[in-house]
Amino acid sequence: MRKYFENPVPMADSSGEVMPAALPSSLSIGGVHIAPATVLAPMAGVTDTVFRRFIRNLGGCGLIMTEFTSADGVLRAKDQKAKRYLHFYEDEHPISAQLFGSDPQVMAEAARLVEGLGFDLVDLNLGCPAKKVVKCNGGSGLLRDLPAIGEIFKAVRSAVTIPFTVKFRAGWNDENIVCVELAKMAEDCGLSAVALHARTREQGYSGQARWEWIAAIKHAVKIPVIGNGDIRTPEDACAMLAQTGCDAVMIGRTAPSNPWIFRQIEQYGFSGTYEQASESDRYQMIRTFFQMLIEEELPDAEGKMKQFASWFTHGVPGGSALRKAIYESKSPQAILARVEDFFEAPLQPWGAVAGV
């Protein structure tokens, strides 16, 4: 399939005016109401509670997901990192916890714990391409063993009453495309929805996502299908909906660089236009997010601020000087001070203002 900017798929409203394919206003996954039909993808090192609430507050995102979390780690009493990954606040509902692992009983016990913590959904990660995860037969490593996936499906489904979903890739490589078969197996095992990142494990994050695989899954199953891959703009999201028939779209890597993407998708589906973030919007966004990180008292707040600085300041006039000042700062408070300095003199050459 061709992306929107190559092959737009317009539609007409009742007056005959050409409009984009509209985003569904809501989606039901096993009785959990998600409105609008957009999902923040689980991303390691990104979708912690601060980023999730930050996205939710900007509007337009129907479902948020945790970072992918080791089922083994969840069950180990001393694994504080896993417990931190599963920390959330009441204003994050609806929220899904994503787990990875290869042992059906461990996955089932971890899913029970997730349900007990109050999550609305639990999701199985079959998409992570990282070598350290794959070598343990987790993430996309399991795509080479469908019977093993089936055992996990059955064990987790019988262990919890909340909706159980799965996010997976199309297959291990182009010679091993299993997405349709896997989606059918998920439906047969009682899962509530499936999400496809339309790349293979071998691709990693390179090349183009092949949306035709999303369409093939949608044709094969009756449970909701969530499409993921190469949604960089609202036009892309509406094109995926039009070309694949998917029930919702999932946004991953675009969200840190354009956290307004969910709100823009909702606006575009309704009106054919959407608001572009102004420079002042972006400045305020950076300051708000960094302040949230400090208030949360995360042990890695400084690292998070430096990590997100490259995304958040992309395209901002003077952004390179701000990034340099942030990277050289020695504490979260010092970073926030550099940001405040930047905001106070946005119209001046900021390198001169900061003395860098």
Q: Chain-wide mean pLDDT for the chain? A: 87
Q: What is the pLDDT of residue 78?
A: 67
Token code pair at residue 14: 């009742």
**Tens of pLDDT along 256-289?**
989 999 999 999 988 889 999 887 888 888 889 9
Closest CA to 256 of 285, 283, 281: 285
pLDDT band at 20 (very low <50, low <70, confident <90, very high): low
**Tens of pLDDT along 330-345?**
899 999 898 888 877 6
Q: What is the pLDDT of residue 21?
A: 66
Beta bridge partners of 70: 100
Q: How far is Cα 50 from Cα 89, in angstroms, rounded to an integer?
A: 10
Instruction: Kindly state the percentage of the chain with pLDDT values over 70.
Output: 89
Q: What is the pLDDT of residue 345?
A: 64
Q: How far is Cα 308 from Cα 187, in angstroms, rounded to an integer?
A: 37
Q: How far is Cα 40 from Cα 45, in angstroms, rounded to an integer?
A: 14
- Give the pLDDT mean for 228-247: 95
Sequence-ordered alpha helix ranges (H) in 35-134: 49-58, 71-75, 80-85, 104-117, 131-134
Give me the amino acid identity at 126: L
pLDDT band at 10 (very low <50, low <70, confident <90, very high): very low
Q: How far is Cα 98 from Cα 82, in angstroms, rounded to an integer?
A: 11
Instruction: Kindly state the percentage of the chain with pLDDT values over 90.
Output: 59
Closest CA to 238 of 84, 87, 36, 73: 36
Q: What is the pTM of this model?
A: 0.89
Closest CA to 182 of 124, 234, 228, 236: 124
309: left (phi over 0), alpha (psi -120 to 50) or beta: alpha
**Tens of pLDDT along 82-123?**
888 899 999 999 999 999 999 999 999 999 999 999 999 999
**Tens of pLDDT along 196-234?**
999 998 888 888 999 999 999 999 999 999 999 999 999
**Tens of pLDDT along 57-86?**
999 999 999 999 999 999 987 677 788 889
31: left (phi over 0), alpha (psi -120 to 50) or beta: left
- Check pLDDT > 80 for residue 356: no
- Check pLDDT > 60 for residue 348: no
19 or 63: which leads in pLDDT: 63
pLDDT band at 173 (very low <50, low <70, confident <90, very high): confident
pLDDT band at 172 (very low <50, low <70, confident <90, very high): confident
Token code pair at residue 316: 């901002």
Q: What is the pLDDT of residue 181?
A: 97
Q: What is the pLDDT of residue 15?
A: 53
284 or 347: which leads in pLDDT: 284
Query: Within 13 A of 111's CA, how many CA atoms are on the CB side?
Result: 28
Closest CA to 251 of 2, 37, 89, 106: 37
- Check pLDDT > 80 for residue 314: no
Tell me which residues are annotated as active site: 128
Q: What is the pLDDT of residue 22?
A: 72
